[in-house]
Amino acid sequence: MRMMSALILALLVFIPKLALAQVPSQFIAKQYSEILGRIPDPGGWAGAVQNFRNAGCNINSLMSYGLSVFESTEFNNLGYNNAEKTLILYRAILNREPDAGGFSTYLSDLNGGAPISQIVATFFSSGEFASLEPYICSDGTYGFGGTGGSGGAISINGQSPMSGDTLQAEIDSAYSNYVSGSGSTLVTIPQDTLVQINNPLIIWPGVTVETQNTPNVNHHAQMARLVRNASWNDSLIRICGGVPFNQPAGAPFNFYCPTGAQGGILQNVWVDGERGAYGYQQNGLDISMYGGNNAYIANNYIVNPTGNGAVAFYGSFEQAPCSAGTIYQNFIGVYASHHQYLGNPSGNYGPNDTTYADGMRVSCENAQIVANSVVDASDAAIEVGRSCPAVNKVIVYDNTILAAGNSAEAAIGTDPLGTTSGDVCANGNPMVDFTGSAVEYNYIWTGPTAHFVVGLAVGSRGWFPNGNSGTGANYQYNDTYSQYGLSANEMTGILASGMVNITIQNNTGIRNPVSNPTSLACPAGDIVTMVGYTDPSSRNPIDPATGQTAKLTSGNIQQATNTYFTVNTPPCVGDYTSSPTIWPGQ
């Protein structure tokens, strides 16, 4: 979701500042994800927010909170060795990869018997942390990386890093075993191994890549770390799903996927795009999956893509048919991206006008997206895309999404996307079919000053006014952890646009928390159903009985206290002028 219509631009004019005191939301999220390897639980999040509202945000309160996490029973029970603890100290407190000299010093201190509380206090008392404090205590993001050392990851286990070429050779050998039907198809990487990847790593059909002893996401610091070690404008890791696929002409790397009864598998590894070290490259995703014969990624720690998304799972629209595939129980952290417009204010937003990044983009028509956590995606946390000519029956279930420091276009969206030359969705089939898909029992919330422009986007006419329309999406039982008193700042709680035969029911707490701004020509509200534009190129159907533009949004849509139905929406006033606080080096 990168091109914005006037409706979305207008919604960006008024962003509520609801915090009663400075709350370092992204810092809180990072203490959970970098130290404990998980998204905050709702009770812990609510307690932390209240703590900073009471104590304020300053070096002492930050130190006190960080120390409480490092001294928690949960952290102690993870069983990390001192090298793993030192890595976490740098990332959680100084917000960067360790430099070799500092890492050696603090590892020696821990090995010599210094308590971790002493090292934690040293980090928080440093001049480097003092320079971070104003950004942490601001109402925006402070990204990740960009100071100290070379910026890139270092080995923590006393061994030289493994090269991506070495790992690729092991994967190639395992694939040969798969093809021959003899020998192991499992590639196991020792714990704590740093793998430096200088060009796309390809996981072939039938091959499984994992860390030895399969540490789960909560034990992420024990995982093998697969890191980008150079700047290139393409994915860090490609997973062949078991269907034949050829990289489109003009792509920067030659690439194909062969046929296989079982797709490639990536599990229990740390994947790091290192945007702080290598900057933004539009196509620099962490992981791309191509089609699916039971391809899956599970229990991975996936962070900081250099490009416009962390994970993409392609399907029939991209000529990679997808019979089955799973993205399960991964942590996805997109701290280093920014919800910031960089181009001209005309509304003609191009792909290089922002540094936005999705959490997951899924056009695999039979994918299961289950029990993942996404923090600080800046475009859409989960985007369900077109699979035409196939029907997209993707299931998005029990995922947790937090906008802590980065705001985002949407938490979850069903996106028929815009039209392009040769668009197979447009050739005689203007309706993109999502019948059988379901977005259910997911949880979304925001920090006090972050926001979703739209909480649940059922259709994408708000961004693509002349784009494809769709049918059959199903959004039910999504919530904001309202039972814990959590909420999401949203200009529009649910935006249904350009979609028919949809179901939107029982989405508790997904609502617009502020009154409709009088300065806007377009409404914000709990639920907005948008008919669209009368531009002849917009493909709005004409009702033959009235000669008027027909209703483009219909179905079983829940009622709300603040509901708007807009007809022939005019251009809206306003422009995206938000400029978040960005940590130097980002």
Can you name the residues that pair with 446 across neighbouring β-strands?
A: 403
- Residue 457: C-alpha distances to residues 10, 19, 477 (Å): 16, 25, 15
Do residues 6 and 74 both lie within one domain?
Answer: no
Is residue 167 assigned to a domain? no
DSSP codes joined into one string, 397-425: ES-EEEESSS-EEEEEEEE-----TT-TT
Q: At what angle do helices 116-124 and 82-89 cross, to 10 degrees?
A: 20
**Contact between residue 381 and residue 39 where contact means Cβ atoms under 8 Å apart:** no
Determine how β-strand 245-246 pairs with β-strand 256-257. antiparallel
Is residue 489 assigned to a domain? yes
Tokens coding 464:
């693509």
Find the CATH number of the domain harbouring 67: 1.10.3130.20
Do residues 73 and 2 both lie within one domain?
Answer: no
Return left, alpha or beta for 330; rule: phi > 0 is left, psi -120 to 50 is alpha, else beta: beta
**Contact between residue 470 and residue 436 where contact means Cβ atoms under 8 Å apart:** no
User: How many domains does the structure of the chain reveal?
Assistant: 2
Is residue 360 assigned to a domain? no
Domain edge (last residue) among 109, 136, 163? 136
- What pLDDT does residue 127 have? 97
For residue 71, the SS3 value is: coil
What is the rounded CA–CA span in Å between residue 97 and residue 88?
9
Do residues 386 and 442 both lie within one domain?
Answer: yes
Amino acid at 518: T
Is residue 120 assigned to a domain? yes
- What pLDDT does residue 142 have? 87
Please identify which residue in the block is written with the tokens 């493994």.
Answer: 162
Domain edge (last residue) among 136, 167, 192? 136
First to last CA, the chain: 22
- Residue 10: C-alpha distances to residues 86, 460, 489, 531, 551 (Å): 46, 15, 16, 17, 22
Residue 389: asked if its preceding bond is cis (omega within 30°), the reply is yes
Please identify which residue in the block is written with the tokens 């290089």.
Answer: 352
Return the half-sphere exposure (C-beta side, CA atoms, 13 A cut-off) of residue 349.
23
Q: At what angle do helices 116-124 and 100-111 cross, to 10 degrees?
A: 150
Is residue 250 assigned to a domain? no
Residue 461 carries which DSSP code?
T
Tokens coding 19:
């915090």
Residue 35 carries which DSSP code?
I
Do residues 36 and 2 both lie within one domain?
Answer: no
Do residues 385 and 505 both lie within one domain?
Answer: yes
- What pLDDT does residue 496 have? 80
Is residue 509 assigned to a domain? yes
Tokens coding 111:
């090995």
Do residues 2 and 78 both lie within one domain?
Answer: no
For residue 498, the SS3 value is: coil
Do residues 480 and 394 both lie within one domain?
Answer: yes
Do residues 6 and 35 both lie within one domain?
Answer: no
For residue 249, the SS3 value is: coil
Please identify which residue in the block is written with the tokens 């986007």.
Answer: 457
Range of the domain at 125: 20-136
What is the rounded CA–CA span in Å between residue 15 and residue 36?
31
Do residues 454 and 371 both lie within one domain?
Answer: yes
Do residues 414 and 513 both lie within one domain?
Answer: yes
Is residue 496 assigned to a domain? yes
Is residue 267 assigned to a domain? no
User: Cα 146 to chain center, whole Å?
Assistant: 20
Tokens coding 215:
């540490």
Do residues 415 and 482 both lie within one domain?
Answer: yes
Residue 217 carries which DSSP code?
G
- What pLDDT does residue 192 have? 97
User: Cα 72 to chain center, whole Å?
Assistant: 28
Chunk the chain into consecutive blocks of 10 residues (it has 586) and report each block's average pLDDT, rounded to whole numbers.
41 40 91 98 96 95 98 98 98 95 97 98 97 87 62 87 98 98 97 96 98 98 97 94 76 76 97 89 93 93 95 93 96 88 43 73 97 96 93 97 92 82 60 93 93 86 73 92 88 79 84 45 52 36 38 58 40 30 32
**Contact between residue 272 and residue 225 where contact means Cβ atoms under 8 Å apart:** yes
Q: Listing from the earlier edge strand, what are the strands of the sheet with 408-415?
A: 201-203, 237-240, 287-290, 309-314, 358-362, 380-385, 408-415, 452-458, 490-497, 525-530, 563-566
State pTM to two decimals.
0.88
**Contact between residue 310 and residue 332 where contact means Cβ atoms under 8 Å apart:** yes
What is the rounded CA–CA span in Å between residue 129 and residue 122?
10
Do residues 492 and 373 both lie within one domain?
Answer: yes
What is the rounded CA–CA span in Å between residue 511 and residue 363?
27
- Residue 525: C-alpha distances to residues 223, 316, 491, 522 (Å): 44, 35, 7, 10
Domain edge (last residue) among 469, 502, 519? 519
